[in-house]
Structure formats: C-alpha cells, structure tokens
Amino acid sequence: MGADQPEGRSQADAELEREIREGRKFTLAEAIGRLAGPGALKGVSPATGKQQAEAEIESYLERHVTGAAGALPNVLLRYVKESDLLVNNLDQPLVVLASCLERILDSEYRLRELVREADVEWGRVYGERPHFEREGCLPHPDDPYTVDSVRAALNQLIEKLSAGA
C-alpha cells in the first residue's frame, strides 16, 4: 500500500476518492479540514488532554479553596501544571491534585516555598508589599498566607478530594 493510504483501505476506495476530487475545486476550508485530520468534526475536543486536565483542576481549586485573598489557587495550579504527575496521569486530574498536595505537605521546604509564592502573588495582585513569614517570629497580622493557614487549607482540600466533593 502507498504511504498516503491508511492500512486496510482498498484500491477501489482510493480510486473512488480520486474520482470525487477530480471534479471539484480545492478550497481553503478543505485544506484546513485535512490539516485537522480525521475526527475533527466528530466531537473530538480541540484542547489537548493536558489542557483539559489543567482546566478541571483549575475549576476544582476555584470552587473549593476558600479565602478572600485568592492567590493560593493560582499558585497551586502552577505547581500542579509543572508536576511530572500530571503528564503521567492526564485521565485522573483530581488524583494528581491530591498527590501534589500531599507532596507539599510532606516537605516543610515545599510548604514554605508555596506560602512564599502565594504571598508574592497576593502582593502582585493587590499592589501591596507581601508579608513574608520569618522563622521564629509571629506572622504579621495582615498576612493572608501563613504556613499554618496554608497547611490547614491544603489538609481541608485533601479531605474534600478524598470525600469526592
């Protein structure tokens, strides 16, 4: 069989297609349709599997991460997007989210970095100087993200994910 013919395609099918194409003008719409490939108009999503998984995680975070500051969901989404877990489990985005949260909670360093990034994001969004938590000092009273508050939020999120909420 030729390189341009799919396996299992008969010579008669190829001949019929050639006859049909002979009598019509090639258009831009047809070129775009050929580039899109088979299945483009059969309900296949134009978004990649990774984009779909990211959108599901983003939607979940927006619905379930509480707090007025709003920076934590964005930072968590970035963390999950960069995770190797997502690429290997595109069909289970909420399982990936739970695994990423557990990774963060298992490492004091990762948790502190997440809090620092959330503080930076909050400062950028609100145009204010972020309040960074320092070891051995009480957190600033206006700090929306402390290690303890973020730890509690992540544990709460894991509970919701485990409950299937």
If you average pLDDT over residues 12-28, what whole number do you get? 76
C-alpha torsion angle, residues 6, 10, 12, 16 (rounded to 10): -20
CA distances (Å), 116 to each of 31, 81, 84, 112, 129, in order?
Answer: 49, 18, 22, 6, 12
Q: Is the pLDDT of residue 155 over 90?
A: yes
Q: What is this structure's pTM?
A: 0.67
As a whole number, mean pLDDT of residues 20-39 equals 70
Task: Give the model's pLDDT for residue 139.
Answer: 76
pLDDT of residue 5: 47
Q: What is the mean pLDDT of residues 45-72?
A: 83
